[in-house]
Structure 1
């Protein structure tokens, strides 16, 4: 017979995966899972479906967290990115569909309302019924279906960026990194690599960051021409060189830049139709804590 601890540990990776995708923050996800463990221990009745019970508990905790004024303010920043994460080191472990935890996918989730996010994840990823989700959200099935429909519409617009082979993904990522770190910016190469409507999102934290004489804008940079101009501006700064390491973050190819042995940036991209559609730059030191051991 399974003990409470054994049962909980069986579902911990799924719970952590759910909380991370809801919050985009590993530390807070761990807090939600720990609180679910406390509530699991304190329950006063037997539970026939422990996974559903625990999923429901974590979802409600995440919705409460997302409803706080502090988190609403953080999520209102247009340059805020989820934490990049080493799935094995974080405890999330193997995910059946890696595109469902990629940086592009988690960024898409952050564009949804908390309720849409919960319904989409529970139904599309964890296969819960509308009746179960309705009980959790205290909404009828029709309302849940409407939330799911809106979420699907928002996700579908960008979902095509999640359908690229790993080899092509890595090739384009490394070509981009080489084009912008090899001394002079390779403008023609960048022009070929970037989609015309490409977007750079650089998360430097709530207080921003200085890079030579440049300071991050706090807003996404949209368009191939503007991105190339931005990269040219970075190249002119007299800053110390960085070491580049290939990694796997959020289940996909990534690059970590280090200076003096410390990570200063994680670089991930999304790819569509043979070009880079998004460049995600996580440069907030506080949000580089879960990228795993440095090589």
Structure 2
């Protein structure tokens, strides 16, 4: 029996929904809604199921994103995407790895929903303007204008991306060792001059209420945080959003997760997620995929 197209293309559909929403929980909700719509379709009449499913997921994600934006404006402290655990080989696809990185996801948050959909579908997933027009309900000429505007916005704000590598993990190891032993200068030497540290506690746990920038302030913050950990806390390595990460586990529970942005051999960004609502899925690897292009026809 042939595999159901929805199951076959699920990694692609999840990736689109997650990059649109910045939340794995919301992405799963969108996939559930999309599956129900797919189930009610006369599937024998659908010539290209993959393209049809992408269209459904895009529209559902757009609707969902418009409804959650107001809630994010009321979020307590900095908002970070819900982290997803990714397989190391995700870094082999640089476009995919960069598109799910914390830094890029934060840039995507500054786009309006339609701009975000157009940018992702064109620049990440490789669809044509005409195909995207059919998905977002706009004229092709309008989509071209939106794509140009969104691309300029993203390129003006994006930071150069270095995919996860053994060298990046070694830098993280050295950073954690220096932090644990209190070697301030060694710690600062591993940080980029414009390093930024962002903590997301969602108002539910203690976390910095604003981004911290600069080597000295970030080093001081990191040392202060580590002084509050107990002997029962141990650190595990992982790969999240295509980035090297450290998992701080206490009594068998993931207490917080830090993803590291590496640029030119130094740490340019630390993204700490402590909001427990965003850590429920942190143990499971999320299969993500950009998919191989096929014609976009219903």
TM-score (norm 2): 0.84
The match for 1:195 is: 192
Using the alignment, how far apart are the partners of 1:245 and 1:39 within structure 2? 40
The match for 2:101 is: 102
Using the alignment, how far apart are the partners of 1:279 and 1:12 within structure 2? 30
**Which structure 2 segments of 5+ residues have no match?**
286-298
Tell whether the 8 Å contact from 1:201 to 1:220 is kept in structure 2 after alignment. Answer: yes
TM-score (norm 1): 0.84
Tell whether the 8 Å contact from 2:258 to 2:273 is kept in structure 1 after alignment. Answer: yes
Tell whether the 8 Å contact from 2:171 to 2:266 is kept in structure 1 after alignment. Answer: yes
Shift of 1:238: 7.2
Shift of 1:236: 4.8
| Matched ranges for 1:126-205 at <5 A | 126-157=125-156, 159-164=158-163, 166-180=165-179, 182-184=180-182, 186-205=183-202
The match for 1:227 is: 218
The match for 2:267 is: 276
Shift of 1:271: 1.7
Shift of 1:283: 0.8
Q: Deviations over 1:224-263 (max 9, x none)?
A: 2321232343355475552000112223321100011110
Q: Which runs of 4+ in 1 moved over 6 A?
A: none
Q: Which moved more, 1:239-248 or 1:281-290?
A: 239-248
Classify 1:73/1:293 alpha carbon distance in 2 versus 1 (closer, same or farther; 3 Å): closer
Classify 1:65/1:20 alpha carbon distance in 2 versus 1 (closer, same or farther; 3 Å): same
Tell whether the 8 Å contact from 1:200 to 1:220 is kept in structure 2 after alignment. Answer: yes
- Paired positions, count: 279
SS at match of 1:196: strand
Classify 1:235/1:95 alpha carbon distance in 2 versus 1 (closer, same or farther; 3 Å): closer
SS at match of 1:197: strand
Using the alignment, how far apart are the partners of 2:50 and 2:283 within structure 1? 28
Using the alignment, how far apart are the partners of 1:107 and 1:76 within structure 2? 16
Using the alignment, how far apart are the partners of 1:204 and 1:10 within structure 2? 36
Q: Which has the higher contact order (CA 8 A, sep 6+)?
A: 2
SS at match of 1:128: coil
Classify 1:235/1:246 alpha carbon distance in 2 versus 1 (closer, same or farther; 3 Å): closer
Shift of 1:188: 0.8
